[in-house]
Structure 1
């Protein structure tokens, strides 16, 4: 817990370099609690194309607790849940059950394999809600970069009964809140990007339907959960219009959305110095996942 609090406090020094649109007038208080961790928990079903694992963090206070599914970045092709360990510990230290997952990589596994991985992770959480003392109505998600894309997509397609909600979706995959940073929300704008081509299996001219289906902004409707988006204003890898357009689309559909602009930071820097955004995101999750909001 000490490591998590130091991480949050030190990186939170950059608060003055951010602008929080649609922020609440008064900050939501964050509790402080101890936590326990279970590492390398297999969450993928038997017979899944490859075994997938998660680290699960549980507060030491009495539940039931809200929970957060956490997904790492890496262009859908690399990295691991270890990148999100500090963030997962921070969330656990303020009262969330946290499931920090790995997922399958492109190009060996094309979209929507990664979304299916998040969907089965949600089923895993629901199946163990009593053992982990989870309130099943208060499950959110947090991700950065490609992980932000995946949690955002999960948030806007769950329960829609469309193609992406089958066969691994269903009501158990519905999120109550989403925190997403550096998010590629409209993959149609990356038609010549190598990482997106590896994920979707071709250029936008070759597989236009895949680009459409894989873009969270396309699936927004009025039933979607509240969103907290954070993004670096100097992000050249995922330009900030990916956040501003997504934010505007959510609002246009009557979905609560907050946009936290991290001034003067690019894609990597906005992750490495994300302490103030994670703190604001944690307050957003406490507020939106409180029992009074159900």
Structure 2
């Protein structure tokens, strides 16, 4: 029995093992095929969703939008602006990051470069080329600014002025704030439950006895509904304060709660407050300039064109609200949008949010709040700056305003249209912004010097007579802003159409 049982197991074992082997062979073959398929999957998948291709597609879209942002589209214009603005003004940062990331991805690969990867690298290279053009446009801003000012300010004066702190163009936190002193949150007005405040930017050194320093008021933008004194106009105020100016960055009531003319009334109240406190800050009350961007540019232009207008000075009609210079950036100059530059919802926004009335119901009110309708011959010296790629406030309105102002004003008008510049191009110290700040300071300082020279001349008994008995002409070193025949010089620099 034992032998029979042993023989039975021995005889059947090969059959069973053979059957098992035959049964397992297809399973092993199927498993091997599955393993080979899985091994191929990363390669096939990577050719479709390659990180390099994905990054290249995103980068080329960002670069093309920076170069050709979307105009006059109620849905796409605002997001297109933000993407274009960040890509344009921070182009060196993006180029550096793209280069580092692409090199890291290429050298960190575990397999060879595929077609999709090569396409992605090519797209990144094309995007970098587009942004490099933006960097070059920004670097040429100084040439445009100098060309505009050359009709007003002597080249020797432009060359003698100190440069802006350019470290901010590499690292924005290095924006010159250590070269000035800042006093925050001084209340200049209480109205309708609002405590309106301003920040003061002063030189590090206090004024000497009897010294009077020029002042400038900065008005923030934000479509009259948002915005803050804390993040706008800072590079310019830092630079001016480091060179002896006193800057005031102000708040004002915002829409939709505040309607026409509350915004301008608050700005004029701030101007009156600065003059009242001139002794406290060592400010020259006879020379106060004003600047601002976007909605702040609109209010800046109105400040320059509506001096001592009692309509905008309720409760302080006797205060002196004249300004001696104005520098509006990318301002809104025509509330009626006669050139139809804006998106089709612009007039409705102004009507419902800012003015609180329809232009046909209150044409006089709209005209009184529209800078192009307030132009007159006694406007103070003005320097207007606008980017030719601005999609929020298209450049056409600035061109018309500058043209009409230069024809009417007896004082200098400088218009600079910066090639490749988007809206809000000087918010942080980019390559373009630091050059803009430098030349704005030169315009303002020259204007101040001219005002001082004129003041000294008017306070004197007049020039000494010559041997013939006629008054002697002004010496050549005295500042002047007039050209041939006593007419004001006007510097106008436009930008060519972009390719």
Q: Please tell me the TM-score bracket, short chain as reference.
A: 0.7 to 0.9
The correspondence for 1:134, drawn from 283, 294, 302, is 283
Counterpart for residue 437 of structure 2: 278
Q: TM-score, normalised by structure 1?
A: 0.87
What is the aligned partner in structure 1 of residue 255 from structure 2?
106
Contact 1:76/1:195 (<8 A) preserved? no
Q: Does 1:72 align with 2:220?
A: yes
Give the 3-state SS of the residue equivalent to 2:194 in structure 1: coil
Q: Which residue of 1 aligns with 2:297?
A: 148
Deviation readout 1:128-186 (Å, 9 max, x if unpaired): 11110011111101101111111110110013x45335554555210000011001111
What RMSD in Å do the two structures reach over aligned CA positions?
A: 2.6
1:53 counterpart residue number: 197
Residue segments in structure 1 that go unaligned for 5+ positions in a row = 1-9
Corresponding residue to 1:86 among 232, 235, 253 = 235
After superposition, the C-alpha distances for 1:252-291 in whole angstroms (9 at most, x for unaligned) are 1123110121101221346454332222111111111122
- Secondary structure of 1:289 counterpart: helix
> Does structure 2 conserve the Cα–Cα contact (< 8 Å) formed by 1:65 and 1:96?
yes
Are the counterparts in 2 of residues 232 and 263 from structure 1 also a CA contact under 8 Å?
Answer: yes
In structure 2, the partner of 1:196 is: 350
When residues 91 and 196 of structure 1 are mapped into structure 2, their CA distance, relative to the original with a 3 A threshold, is farther
The correspondence for 1:14, drawn from 138, 160, 165, is 138
* SS of alignment partner, residue 92 of structure 1: helix
Counterpart in 2 of 1:211?
366
TM-score (normalised: structure 2): 0.53
Residue 126 to residue 12, structure 1, CA distance change in 2 (3 Å): farther
Q: Which residue of 2 aligns with 1:4?
A: none
Q: 2:327 is paired with a residue of what secondary structure? A: strand
1:157 to 290, 298, 306: 306
Shift of residue 101 of structure 1? 0.5
SS in 2 for 1:242: helix
Q: 1:247, 1:49 → 2: CA distance?
A: 38
- Label 1:48 to 1:134 Cα distance change in 2 as closer, same or farther (>3 A): farther
Contact persistence 1:233–1:261 (CA under 8 A): yes
CA contact (8 A) 1:140 1:289 kept: no
Return 248-257 or 197-206, whichever deviates more. Answer: 197-206
Q: Give the 3 Å change call, closer, same or farther, for CA 248–168 of structure 1 in structure 2.
A: farther
Q: Please state which structure has a larger fraction of its residues in helix.
A: 2
Asked if structure 1 preserves the Cα contact closer than 8 Å seen for 2:269 and 2:313, the reply is: no
- Give the 3-state SS of the residue equivalent to 1:73 in structure 2: coil
State the shift of 1:236 in Å. Answer: 2.0
- Specify whether residues 264 and 106 from structure 1 end up closer, same or farther in structure 2 by C-alpha distance, changes over 3 A only: same
Mapped pair 1:229 → 2:384: yes
Other-structure match for 1:44: 189
Which blocks of at least 5 consecutive residues in structure 2 are unaligned? 1-92, 94-134, 164-177, 456-499
Task: Say which SS state the counterpart of residue 276 (structure 1) adopts.
Answer: helix
Aligned residues: 283
Larger Rg: 2
CA contact (8 A) 1:149 1:184 kept: yes
